[in-house]
Structure 1
Amino acid sequence: MRLARIRTHNFRNLPSLDTALGRSVVIVGENRAGKSNLLQAIRLVLDSSLPYADRRLSSKDFWDGLDCPSGDPMVDGYEIRISLDLDELSDDKRMMATLGNGLVELKPPVARLTYKWAPDPKKDGIYTDGVYFADGEDNRRVPNDLRDEVFVAFTSALRDVESDIRSWRRSPLRSLLERVIGKIPPDEVARLRALLSEANDQVVGLPDVEDLATTVERRVEAAVGPRHALGASLRTVPPQVDEVIRALTLYVDGSQARSLDTASLGSLNILYFVLLQLGSEARLEGKEVSHTLVVAEEPEAHLHPHLQRSVLEAIGAPTDSRSILVTTHSPQLVSAVDGRALLRLSRKDGGTVAHSAADATLTEREWGDVNRYLGATQAEMVFATKVLLVEGYAEEVLVPAFASEHGMDLNKEGITVCAIHGTHFLSYAKLCGSLGIPFAIVTDGDPGDDGELEGRTRLSRLAEAMGLTGELDGHGLFLGEDTLEVDLYRTASNAERIHVVLTELGTRNTPSRIETWNGSPSRKQLVDEIDHAGGKGRFAQRLASEPLTAPAAFQRALDFLRTAL
């Protein structure tokens, strides 16, 4: 089984979301984009363990943009609907039997389940909730025992791992210990009960312990009378073997057996997700459920960057009978997933919209390039509100200085500068496009011996490959006149500042060589002097501390992104 698609109607800031899902979905987006609401929507359909209070929605759960004459969407009779399509059912006879009444397509089979919060047709002014087969139009409810075929393991971003593990109701250990109890042979149960009873008798038989137990019970009887006495006693453990096993507690630090409160929050999180994985595997092996769905908000919380990249391994890989949906703000976590799993939510006037990276028309080889590129640093791209794609490190370092002099704060604008370390922009432009991220590209003019700009040919081919027509600038594609360093030198008052930096970083002969330029060095002279100063990267790194006027191509790119939606 696979979660194929979700559609929402009037639910919070997801008034008309319609997006594909998959076995592994990593949801990104800025704060208040609707990531948690999307997970809650999925739980409303599939999670039969969701508390009653969470299933009963209110007026506050309706989209704010509804036209409500009364001011209350429930008074005006609006309804909330959330539909999930489930596919890849052919090889799962148990799920086919379970979902048969909800089939909306036969070849291949696709089942639909719909949560509705709507006026009760039989009780005026009363709302009712329920999960229905198909679109819910004929009000055929999905029985809870059928929904129990999917086990939903949900973890919130504000989880208290220590408390959850210690709580029998919430503990991920629960299902594992229950399976242990069910596998103990009867004769072993009898032997263990005898051992427990013997150990208990020896401890409570100590004179002082026995006297304390007698004193407690006498005082209780004196207070309430023999009719209401409790029959209180002291025991080391209960005599029932299953109760003893349920009371088992996890400890850390090996033979030191320290309590969980001594462990770091990060270590406890990894332990928690491993227990969730083991518990879901146990349910599947025991045929208690047909599918498990792990839904985790920000699993990277409290984790060191290296462990953030490993957390998905602790959660477990997706399979035919296991799906994973996580939200994240961690570039480290994104760097560890296949880019096709990314789902980006973005806020628009009409409500949140979703963009799936899987929609990018990339070949397998191109996806390989993208996945290698999205390391922990460049993975910030998928969290950006807007992206400026540039050729190399020098541009990446200098653009923030350009923006500052241009009156822009890149952080406040949500702009991330990504160097692709080359001129192969197409794959990254397609990724940004598929995720709905506005982007601009600046590339060098690179004039040839004949004076023709190789950069113009480069951008024209890029535009053609993306199906773009018209002026390049109108699509966010900007062209320098020469290389970055030459354009920078020729712009406004930058030359004097460049002389200062070259002199500081260069050799003792640098000043005399600069004098021979007469304010107009050739490209070779400038590049050679930059090499003397430690190379383009070191030169740019030091120059970025100076107030600089951006070359024209970068000014136009920043202005384009400032107004991009």
Structure 2
Amino acid sequence: MFISKLSLRNFRNFRNVSLNFNKGVNTIIGENGSGKTNLFHAIRLLVDESMPRGVRLYESDFNRSLGKWTGHWIIIQIEFQELDSSEEAQSIAMHKIGAVDDFDTTQGTYSMFFRPRIEIRRNLFKLSQSDDKTVEELEKLLSGVSLNDYESVFAGRGNVDFSDEETYSQYVGNFTEITFPDPDDEQTDVYGIKMYGISIPNEFACTFAKALRDVESDLRSYRDNPLLNLLRDKEKNISIDKKHEIEEQVDILNKNISGLEEVKGVSKGITQTIKEAVGETYAPNVNIKSELPSEMEKILQSLKLWVGDPDEEGHEGRLWELSLGGANLIYLSLKLLEFEKIKKDNKIANFILIEEPEAHIHTHIQKTLFQKLDKERTQVFISTHSTHISSVCEISSMNILGRGKQRAHVFAPSSNLKADKIIKLERYLDANRTNLLFAKGVILVEGDAEHILIPEIIKKVLGVSLDELGISLINIGSTGFENVAQLFHKDRIHRNCSVLTDNDLSIVKLPKDPKDDNQYERDCRNSQISGVDRKEKLELFCKDNNFVKPFYAKYTFEVDFLLEGNSYEIIQTVEKAFKKQQDKDRIKGLLENKDVSISGKEVLRLAEKFKKGWFAIMVSEKVSNITAIPEYILDATVFACPTLNESILLAIAKYRLTKLKDYHYIGDTTDYKSLLDKIILIEDVAEALEFFIEELPHDVLSKLISKLNA
């Protein structure tokens, strides 16, 4: 038995989402604040017996995008597969799958409804039946509803997914059209059957290991300490004779400590001082006694962990002397052992939820832990924002949470992909490339030069890094754009993906007849043919997919970078790389030539001479705030990050003016200091950006804003 689906409606930052799960290990990845903790809490409300059954939710538990929450329902629904024949499992089974008497007893649901009590629902239904119903009447009715008018109901065998908009409108209500169902029409095949006599969470073995940020506190806690939970279980196995013997020894030790003359002396001194202060009549008798616990359970509670790092053999100390990573690993190990303790053969399902195991744990431990988890009889859920963990998990068992405006989005990266493509993607996504799963936008490149130089250009010219913009730039090498870009699709990850590649048009004029080509022309012609073929395939691949868009250099990255007006950066690189002045002068003359067949050929020769990646590193050292960003790269950046907010744009504007004040083109007489002083005084962000555009219409930021607004 395993959880195959989780549906959430109006719960915290989840407005209406469904997540599909597989047997074994399931991974939920997402940035901070995307809802990983909320999702785990939702699962635990239904399957963790340590959670209170009298669930009481609050206004803050309703999704904020609802606006007015009154009247709405919070619904958490779990779907199970492979139910066995036990009475407990069958209490949530028997879905109708066809004819009236046609049931699937291996599939079932368990749901929690936090909803208005039946009197309120009856009033809503009565209003919806009125011919002259109005929004004002609905608002008046709902204005008198409070949390005290809500109830928590657990039900099994429900047969619809309430995360679906039409289903919610039909069976909960449509607040816009003021239509509500009759609450006295039970429709048990829809809402399910209320659970009486069976507590489903008691039939599960479930352990939750929360995010490992305050391990020492938890290991000192009486309630949350997993070590104490393990010891409590062992205490009942100690023989009666052994218990009595130990308890008697503790009693003797208490008497010996209390009988020490030093202890008695302090006791007498306290008594004498009190009598002198208040007199014999009112002075209480004071005695000091040792109270080491003599009950076996309390004795076991006094046991503490002594630990040592593996590279300091023979040394042991208290827990807080151990590295934080080591302490976290011990905590997690205790939680796993605690789970093994409660996992019984008579439980109908076993679950373990591990929240962000990467916190303070070394990279190799993260990967090892993930791969060694027991997945045979246990379904595991791990939430993470670690690329190291995500790199070793299967995307077929992965859900991605993304932050949206007042609600989270859920993406399944393997949805509607064939098995062979999924396997190839899983092999490709190593720790470096899984960044694309966490990004707000992605730019794919196929060479080291772009991978090295583009982030540096963006940082120096705009003053913000690609990371700050939420963009992952991924070098796909020889993998092929289509193999990676297929992740970004309406069925999978809803993130914009820019594909940066070369048109590879010939930089020299080619003869009409290919037979007349010399060797260089033949190479140029072959590259151009490959470029045309690549473009055709990319355009076909991106057709009807709004999440992927290709952007092309007219020639190649190095040539287009040069032609954009960046000969200075390359010439400065040459000045540093070559020793002979005559070589420097010759190369400079070639690079500044207006004929692309000359300047383009020279920059490609330099890239080949130093190797493209190393040449990009050399050039990146000369990039500055007045380096020109090639148009197609700017377009790709805008597409990958279409939601640049005004505060970021204003920060870029101030950065540009600050830098231009001290370093600008020769002959540029613009008073950048004055512009900076003026824009700082403009309080309204939109007005400040308008001022910047008016004063510097040809600046790269003005172009960027224009593209964003296009």
**How many corresponding residue pairs?**
543
CA distance in 2, matches of 1:405, 1:196: 71
Change (3 A) 1:108 1:537: farther
Q: Is the 8 A contact 2:258 2:288 kept in 1?
A: no
CA–CA distance in structure 1, aligned partners of residues 532 and 106 of structure 2: 49
d(CA) in 1 for partners of 2:426, 2:472: 18
Which of 567, 577, 601 pairs up with 1:495? 567
Q: Is the 8 A contact 2:156 2:194 kept in 1?
A: yes
Query: Is the contact made by 1:153 and 1:293 (CA closer than 8 Å) also made in structure 2?
Result: yes
Q: Which moved more, 1:405-414 or 1:420-429?
A: 405-414
- Corresponding position: 1:103 with 2:177: no
Q: Measured at CA, do residues 350 and 162 of structure 1 come closer, stay the same or move farther in structure 2, by a change above 3 Å?
A: closer
- The verdict on how the C-alpha distance between 1:515 and 1:30 changes in structure 2, with shifts beyond 3 A counting, is closer
How many Å apart are 1:163 and its aligned residue? Answer: 1.9
Q: Spell out the pairing of 1:155-554 with structure 2 (5 A cutoff).
A: 155-157=209-211, 159-193=213-247, 195-196=249-250, 203-204=257-258, 206-209=260-263, 233-235=289-291, 237-253=292-308, 256-285=315-344, 287=345, 289-312=347-370, 317-348=373-404, 351-359=407-415, 361=417, 363-364=419-420, 366-367=421-422, 369-403=424-458, 407=462, 409=464, 410-422=466-478, 424-433=480-489, 434-446=492-504, 449=525, 452-462=528-538, 464=540, 466=541, 468-469=542-543, 475-489=548-562, 491-506=563-578, 508=580, 510-511=583-584, 513-514=586-587, 517=590, 519=593, 520-521=597-598, 525-532=602-609, 534-545=610-621, 546-547=623-624, 548-554=627-633
What is the aligned partner in structure 1 of residue 38 from structure 2?
37
Residue aligning to 1:65:
65
Verify the 8 A CA contact 1:341 1:357 in the aligned structure 2.
no
Identity of aligned residues (%): 24
**Larger Rg computed on CA atoms:** 2
Q: How far off its partner does 1:265 sit?
A: 2.5
Helix, strand or coil at the partner of 1:431: coil
- For the 8 Å contact 2:499–2:548, the answer to whether it is kept is no
- Taking a change above 3 Å as real, the CA distance of residues 299 and 515 of structure 1, as seen in their structure-2 partners, is closer
Residue 371 to residue 517, structure 1, CA distance change in 2 (3 Å): same
Distance in 1 separating the partners of 2:327 and 2:416: 37
Query: In the alignment, does 2:7 pair up with 1:19?
Result: no
Q: What corresponds to 2:51 in structure 1?
A: 50
Determine the C-alpha separation between the residues in 2 that align with 1:522 and 1:432: 38
- Structure 1 SS opposite 2:64: coil
Tell me the equivalent position of 1:153: 207
Deviations 1:376-396 (A, max 9, x none): 332221110000000122111
User: C-alpha distance in 1, partners of 2:474/2:437?
Assistant: 11
Query: Aligned-pair distance for 1:256?
Result: 4.9
Task: Work out whether residues 267 and 286 of structure 2, in 8 Å CA contact, stay in contact via their aligned partners in 1.
Answer: no
Structure 2 residue aligned with 1:113, among 110, 114, 119? 110
* Contact in 1 for aligned 2:443/2:498 (Cα 8 Å): yes
1:84 Cα deviation after fit:
0.7
* C-alpha distance 149-213 of structure 1, shift in aligned 2 (>3 A): farther
- SS of equivalent to 1:274: helix
Cα distance, 1:112 vs structure 2: 0.7
Structure 1 residue aligned with 2:72: 78
Change in Cα spacing, 1:32 to 1:478, as seen in structure 2 (3 Å) is: same
Contact 1:442 1:477 in 2 (8 A): yes
What's the offset of the Cα at 1:259?
A: 2.1
Alpha-carbon distance in 1 for matches of 2:94, 2:608: 66
Q: 1:460 to 1:36 in 2, by over 3 A?
A: farther
Which runs of 5 or more structure 1 residues have no equivalent in the other structure? Answer: none
Distance 2:456 2:200 in 1: 59
Is 1:131 the counterpart of 2:169? The answer is no
Measure how far apart 1:32 and its partner are: 3.5
Q: What is the letter of the counterpart of residue 214 of structure 2?
A: D
- The 1:506–1:344 alpha-carbon spacing in structure 2 relative to 1, beyond 3 Å, is farther
Deviation (angstroms), 1:10:
1.9
Where structure 2 has 5 or more consecutive residues not aligned to the other structure, the ranges are 96-102, 121-144, 159-187, 506-523, 645-710
- 3-state secondary structure, aligned to 2:487: helix
Structure 1 residues 208 and 32, CA gap change in structure 2 (3 angstroms): closer
How many Å apart are 1:7 and its aligned residue?
1.0
User: Within 1, Cα distance between the matches of 2:47 and 2:272?
Assistant: 53
Contact 1:332 1:376 in 2 (8 A): yes
The answer for the alignment partner of 1:555 in structure 2 is 634
In the alignment, the residues of structure 1 paired with residue 349 and residue 287 of structure 2 have an alpha-carbon distance, to the nearest angstrom, of 46
Deviation per residue, 1:233-266 (Å, 9 max, x gap): 424x433334322332112237654222223322
Tell me the CA shift for residue 139 of structure 1.
Answer: 5.0
- 2-structure distance, mates of 1:182, 1:474: 60
TM superposition shift of 1:478: 2.2
Deviations 1:287-318 (A, max 9, x none): 574444333333322334444444536xx615
Letter in 2 for 1:555: L
Shift of 1:14: 1.1
1:471-507 C-alpha deviation (Å, 9 max, x unpaired): x999411233333222322x23122321221331245
| Aligned AA (1:294) | I
Q: Which amino acid aligns with 1:535?
A: K
Question: TM-score scaled to structure 1, two decimals?
Answer: 0.83
- With structure 2 as the length reference, what TM-score do the two structures score? 0.67
Alpha-carbon deviations, 1:158-192, whole Å to 9, x = none? 75211211223211113321332233344444554
SS, match of residue 183 in structure 1 = coil
Read off the aligned partner of 1:554 and give its amino acid letter. I
Does the CA-based 8 Å contact 2:254-2:290 persist in structure 1? no
Q: CA offset at residue 404 of structure 1?
A: 5.1
1:563 aligned counterpart, secondary structure:
coil
Amino acid at match of 2:638: D
Helix, strand or coil at the partner of 2:303: coil
SS in 2 for 1:359: coil
**Distance verdict in 2 for CA 1:408–1:108, change over 3 Å:** farther
Residue deviations 1:314-370 (CA, integer Å, cap 9, x gap)? xx6152432332332322332343333332122445832210123262544x54554
SS at match of 1:170: coil
Deviation at 1:450, TM superposition (A): 5.1
Q: Distance in 2 between matches of 1:507 and 1:531?
A: 19
1:80–1:212: structure 2 CA closer, same or farther, 3 Å change rule?
same
